[in-house]
A and B are shown apart, each in its own frame.
Chain A
Amino acid sequence: DAGVTQSPTHLIKTRGQQVTLRCSPKSGHDTVSWYQQALGQGPQFIFQYYEEEERQRGNFPDRFSGHQFPNYSSELNVNALLLGDSALYLCASSLGPGQVGSPLHFGNGTRLTVT
Chain B
Amino acid sequence: GESVGLHLPTLSVQEGDNSIINCAYSNSASDYFIWYKQESGKGPQFIIDIRSNMDKRQGQRVTVLLNKTVKHLSLQIAATQPGDSAVYFCAERKTSGSRLTFGEGTQLTVNP
Contacts and interface: CB of A to CB of B under 8 A. Distances in A.
B102 A42 contact: yes
Nearest to B32: A100
Contacts of A4: 43
Given A42-B105, A105-B46, A97 B41 contact: no
A33 B99 contact: yes
Nearest to A57: B99
Given A43-B44, A103-B49, A106-B44, A48 B99 contact: yes
B45 interface: yes
Contact of A56 (B36, B46, B91, B98): B98
A35 B104 CA distance: 14
Interface residues of A, number: 29
Contact of B49 (A43, A97, A101, A109): A101
Contact of A43 (B42, B45, B51, B100): B100
Nearest to B46: A103
A97 B104 contact: no
A35 B89 CA distance: 14
B89 A108 contact: no
B72 interface: no
Interface string B70-109: 0000000000000000000101010111111111110000
Contact of A98 (B31, B89, B91, B96): B96
Contacts of B21: none
Contacts of B66: none
Contact of A90 (B44, B51, B95): B44
A8 interface: no
Contact of A31 (B96, B98, B102, B104): B98
Given A44-B102, A108-B41, 11 more contacts: A33-B98, A41-B105, A43-B44, A43-B102, A45-B101, A58-B99, A97-B97, A97-B98, A104-B46, A104-B98, A108-B43
